[in-house]
Amino acid sequence: MKYFFSFILVALAFLGGIQGVKAADLVPESRTTAKAQVLEILSQERKDIPGTDTLSDYQTLKVKILDGNEKGAEVTVENDYLNLQKGDVFYLIHTIDKYNNIDVYSVSEPYRIPALYFFIGLFVVCVVLFGGKQGVRGIIALALSFFFIGFLLLPGILHGYSPVLVSIGVSSLIIILGSYITHGFNKTTSSAVIGMIITIIVTGILAFLAIKYARLSGFTTDESVYLNQNSRGQIDLAGLLLGGILIGLLGVLYDAAIGQAIAVEELHEVGPHLPKSTIYKRAIRIGREHIGALVNTLAIAYVGASLPLLLLFYSFGTGDYTQTINKEIFSTEIIRAIIGSIGLVLAVPITTLISTWMLVKETPTKDSALLALEEKAAEKKVHHH
């Protein structure tokens, strides 16, 4: 584990030093964003969006810029994006294109930071209040996970590294540090970590094959198209899709693997006379119950994230469902859910096997045979369905 951990750290440490596609090169437009506040609504009307029968609000606003180089300036903005009220705070984009003689202000996003801070604070309070020390450790592990994604995964991909390798490396790093911070340095945590890393590697291979044979390009959203254009085609979007599958699996995978490792430890604790084969069978039985709930959770989570897409295709009423699911934007979500679920299912036997091998020490006693016979007799009377 020490050698593996050191290898990942050294490999990822070089991500920042390689020259390639840089974030600064991704935005060729000359534009600035600043916070602004609505001073007055000069006019407001509902008009049809050109080319459609959909009505939308059109506003002419007088706003005051609150920060940036133009702080204090009052400008007029045409707004057809958000329905703003007097006093509302939002982000304003100032676009300057000297070649086409364009100098315009436009509404970007409402100012959501206070709401975000409130609910983040509420989340932290709930976790600390009801989770205690384990909750605090979990928050630290979560913060580190976002740190690795923001400062290793994203820069690594933008610098031209393979999204597949970077995603597997960062996922492994998140698993290792997150697990040990939350649950401490012990054999139980180590067995879960090894099981998760093996599962991530196997799932990565399956995702690679699925993307290849389903011929998924990764061009399923506007963001992917813009990213490809801004990076001049140097980012492997299919590999980026694979990386997203692995990162999305981490949370549920962590739950399944730690649960199985703890189950093996507890079974061995209450039945130290039981052989490894019996511990494995009983832990697998627990894992099967867990799989049913987690697979359903993962699938429903993907459906929830894709709900607007589902409604869009449902409203079209294409008739032939095979044509619908054959579309890449739909096939991508199916592959994402299926591969994630397969990885979750594989995590149970893999982690249980490793945990049994690492944690269970067979120590036969004089009463072991008698206890085993009594338990077999009891099992015939008790069944779980």
User: What's the order of all strands across the beta sheet hosting 74-79?
Assistant: 74-79, 55-65, 31-48, 89-97, 102-110
User: Is the model more confident about 246 or about 124?
Assistant: 124
Mean pLDDT: which of 110-124, 132-146, 260-274, 320-334 is highest? 110-124
Residue 24 pLDDT: 42
Residue 23 pLDDT: 41
User: Is the model more confident about 81 or about 108?
Assistant: 108
Q: How far is it, in rounded angstroms, from Cα 168 to Cα 199?
A: 11
pLDDT range class, residue 64, cuts 50, 70, 90: very high
- For the chain, state the CA radius of gyration: 27
Contact 156, 21 (CB under 8 A): no
The whole-number average pLDDT for the span 330-342 is 84
Contact 124, 138 (CB under 8 A): no
Count of beta carbons in the 10 Å neighbourhood of residue 21: 17
* Residue 115: pLDDT over 60: yes
Structure tokens at 358: 């690492």
Mean pLDDT, the chain, integer: 79
Residue 20 pLDDT: 41
User: Is the model more confident about 7 or about 203?
Assistant: 203
Count of beta carbons in the 10 Å neighbourhood of residue 122: 10
Q: Tens of pLDDT along 280-303?
A: 988 998 888 878 777 777 777 777
Mark 176-196 as b/e (b = at least 16 C-beta within 10 Å). Answer: bbbbbbbbeeeebbbbbbbbb
Min mean pLDDT across 67-81, 174-188, 220-234, 243-257 is at 220-234
Q: Tens of pLDDT along 137-147?
A: 888 888 888 88
Q: How far is it, in rounded angstroms, from Cα 315 to Cα 274?
A: 58
User: Is the model more confident about 281 or about 373?
Assistant: 281
Residue 384 pLDDT: 54
Residue 251 pLDDT: 74
Residue 375 pLDDT: 64
Mean pLDDT: which of 23-27, 236-240, 262-266 is highest? 262-266
Q: Tens of pLDDT along 35-57?
A: 999 999 888 888 776 766 677 78
* Residue 202: pLDDT over 60: yes
- All structural domains of the chain, each given as residue ranges with its CATH number in brackets, are 31-114 (2.40.50), 133-381 (1.20.1640)
Contact 368, 273 (CB under 8 A): yes
* Residue 357: pLDDT over 80: yes
Q: Which residues contact 378 (CB under 8 A, 6 or more apart)?
A: none
The distance from CA 272 to its chain's CA centroid, rounded to whole angstroms, is 39
Residue 363 pLDDT: 60
